[in-house]
Amino acid sequence: MIRNRYFFLILIVILLAVKYDYNNLIKEPVLNITYEIKSEYINILQNIRNLVQKHIEQKKSIERLEKEVEELKKSADLSSAFAGKLRSLLQDKSILYTPELNITRAISYVNLANYNSVWLDFKMPKKDKIYGLLYEGYSAGIVVNKEGKSLGLLQGNTKCIFSVYIGDKKIPGVIFGDNDDMIVRYIPAWKSVKVGDEVYTSGLDNIFFEGIKVGKVTDVIKEESYVSATVKPYAKVLVPGYFHIVTKP
């Protein structure tokens, strides 16, 4: 009987010891795992915050750079105007030359089968005036009034017409749209026009200011009383977005 009591007492002591060691054995790993989970959660949360902050800063930088690019484009376009008038300004100090450009957005093509005409989000100051259209620093067409709305006739449009100079000698001509190319007509027959000559706006029509690049001569055609020249335009308006309009040449 006494032996049985000793046996049960020893068994209870062993069980208590095992229970104590088991709790410690389980408790410590559980605490370690919990700590690691909390630590990893905090790290992930901080990384997410950093990514969000970085995204916000990048967005602000992109918006700032876009504004700077637009200002630089406008400055580049205006520099052509001042370059073209520089000589007359130096000769006559009384001349005040202040060209103006307005940025405008293309709304849509007039006809999906014809990519040479676009509606523009632009309120024309004078309904009966023709305005010059620029794209990335090059001539892109003209703007006319169409039933109270601003219609952009891109350079491939046969109704797009403005005056130009050819080459360093400023050979005059009138350029017409011709689908992918343009054609300069009414070039005096005695003037020497060559393939590779650069074509730029003359400003004589009060549509553009002088000096905006149009393209290069790719072919010269001898007519009876004058010469014509095929021109490959510089501007490539595939998906129209924003343009500059010459509101004051």
In sequence order, the 6+-apart residues with CB closer than 8 A to the CB of 89 are 95, 97
More confident residue, 91 or 213: 213
How far is C-alpha 74 from the geometric centre of its chain's CA atoms?
12
pTM of the model: 0.64
**Cβ contacts of residue 181 below 8 Å, gap of 6+?**
156, 218, 230, 231, 232, 233
pLDDT at 71 over 80: no
Helices (H) and strands (E) in the chain, counts: 1, 12
* β-bridge partners, 124: none
162 Cβ contact list (under 8 Å, min separation 6) = 130, 132, 139, 142, 174, 175, 201, 205, 207, 208
Distance CA 170, CA 160 (A): 21
Residue 200 has pLDDT above 80, yes or no: yes
Alpha carbons 118 and 107: distance in angstroms, whole number: 7
In angstroms, how far is CA 167 from the centroid of its own chain? 29
The pLDDT value given to residue 248: 85
Q: What is the mean pLDDT of the chain?
A: 78
Q: Give CA separation, 156 vs 25, 114, 129, in Å.
A: 83, 10, 20
126 and 144 in contact (C-beta within 8 Å)? no
- The answer to whether 162 and 177 have CB atoms below 8 angstroms apart is no
Mean pLDDT value across residues 117-137: 92
Instruction: Return the exposure string of 107-140: e unless at least 16 CB atoms fall within 10 Å of the residue's CB, then b.
Output: eebbeeeebbbbbbebebeeeeebbbbbbebbbb
φ/ψ of 237, rounded to 5, equals -95, 85
pLDDT at 131: 97
Which residue do the tokens 């700590």 mark? 35
Query: Vertex 82, ends 79 and 88: CA angle to 5°?
Result: 165
> Long-range contacts for 1-7 (Cβ within 8 Å, ≥24 apart)?
none
Residue 235 · residue 138 · CB < 8 Å: yes
pLDDT in tens, 149-163: 999 999 999 999 999
pLDDT tens digits, 85-101: 555 554 554 444 567 88
